[in-house]
Amino acid sequence: MTTLSPGPRPPSPGPRSPATRPSVPAPRAPVRSGPRWSLAPSDRRGTAVPPEGQGHDTRPGPGWIRRAAARLDSADRTVLGLYLLTRISLAITAHLARWLFPGQSGAREAAPVLAPFRHWDANHYLHIARDGYFPAGGGPWTSGWDNREAFFPGYPLTLRAVHTVVPDWTAAGLLISFAAGAVAVVALARIARAYLPDSGAGSRTVLFLLLSPCAVFLAVGYTEALFLAFALPAWLAATHHRWALAAVLTTLGTTVRISGLFLAAAIGLLFILATAQAQAQARATAPEREGRRSWWAAGWTLLPALPPAAYSWYLHAHTGDWMAWKHAQERGWYRTFHTPWEAWGNTWTGAFGHTQTTGYALMFQAELAAMLVGLGLVAVLLYRRRWPEAVYVILSLWALGTSYWYTSVPRATLLWWPLWIGLAALSLRRPWFRTAYLCVAAPVTTLVALAFLTGRWAG
């Protein structure tokens, strides 16, 4: 289950949490399990491999900065320029929001500069980073408990570390998301250039992501950007059969979100397919040696399970409950198990049954739409026989679609990198699609950003 923001209450009575809630690129030995995204597969291996610096670099600055810059090609720099422009655009939107939509009617002074970013989950992570999970003996047994153990420790630990050099907690969170987002978009662009034959596929894919309806969550103090900064390079490493690196990066991802386990399952399946193909190719020469060498790397695929196990052990030591994080989500976010059709029905009622205020009803409509997008994506992946990517999205949909109702499905679309690559592929075949997408997505993206920046529920 993903970590979720608190949402509206179900209509049924019962104990609830405190009243803080309102009523696959081409690898070295490619696994061709099915057709690629485009009609013409790309064999340009160099686009997915960071270019190495040539010769002696005499540019000024710290050595690590020069080395990092040397690994960026012109396509990477184009993507980073696009990323920077969208960050500037969001900063302008936040500035306008605090002047146009003050917290109190008739206010004559705008809110502090960083106030638009202090909402919902960002506050949960701040409290964990500052005070820990169980401050002053508090816990699930305490009246008014905020169920903070529902959130995995990777982001709060990172926030606490950055806070040692950035005194403001909100600014520290924004810096984490800014840096992590830059890593994520470069990795996404490289994956896309390996999937698609067009030289502009990377920037096109990143554009679809950065202008997607919930893109604001990549910039604020949430986990999406940090998770993608681990998950996308992990997938890139796995598709080049660098299993140890992929496992380490995925392990870091599982410290941030439980979704890391879904990624680990997809990489595990990719490993099985790649190893089976490698064995078939080597059977005529040295099958026993090749088999031992290939399957020896299988141990790395188990590494990502360690952080969730360690976190469960930590919670058990403090609460006596091995699944305390899951039970916290059930108490605070109605994550009790329901069948997929029950979850759909309850969400439909929230969207169209006149049981919620208009703002929440609209977001439930967005939840339904996002679930349909996810199901459509799974259908395309299965048709294309992209089995590992399909496993990743299916597990995500199962986790999100088996609660009382859907919560944060639109935000989860940010983590479905096959979706953005697929949209880029479609726009390459149908040039009008990009214009249509931008015309539809731009106003929706702006409204969702304004909803979050003004403290309204935005998924």
Q: What are the pLDDT digits (tens) for 356-408?
A: 999 999 999 999 999 999 999 999 999 999 999 999 999 999 999 999 999 99
| Mean pLDDT along residues 91-120 | 92
Taken in order 234, 411, 77, 91, the sign of the CA dihedral is: negative
Above pLDDT 70, what percent of the chain? Answer: 83
Distance, CA of 61 to CA of 45 (rounded, Å): 31
Q: What's the rounded Cα separation, in Å, for the pair 456 and 437? A: 25
What is the residue-wise DSSP string for 407-433?
Answer: -SHHHHGGG-HHHHHHHHHHHHHSTHH
CA 440 – CA 458 distance, rounded (Å): 18
CB 231 within 8 A of CB 265: no
CA distance 71 to 68: 5
Residue 383's Cβ-count burial label (10 Å; 0-12, 13-18, 19+) is exposed
* pLDDT value of residue 457: 85
| Tokens, residue 156 | 């709060």
Tokens of residue 395, six digits: 């597990």
Instruction: Please tell me the predicted confidence (pLDDT) of residue 62.
Output: 65
d(CA 414, CA 442): 16
The whole-number pLDDT of residue 355 equals 96
CA distance 230 to 208: 20
Residue 317 CB coordination number (10 Å): 8
pLDDT band at 5 (very low <50, low <70, confident <90, very high): very low
Query: The whole model's pTM is what?
Result: 0.86
* Alpha-carbon dihedral sign for residues 346, 351, 352, 353: positive
Each residue's pLDDT tens digit, 27-64: 444 444 433 443 233 444 333 444 433 444 455 556 66
pLDDT score, position 16? 41
Range scoring the smallest mean pLDDT among 66-80, 129-143, 250-264: 66-80
* Average pLDDT in the chain: 87
Contact (CB, 8 A) for 338 and 400 = no
Which of 120, 152, 147 has its CA nearest to residue 134? Answer: 147
Amino acid in position 20 = T
- Pick the more confident residue, 111 or 287: 111
Integer Rg of the chain from CA: 22
Asked whether the predicted pLDDT for residue 212 surpasses 70, the reply is: yes
**Nearest residue to 71 (alpha-carbon basis) of 44, 48, 98:** 48
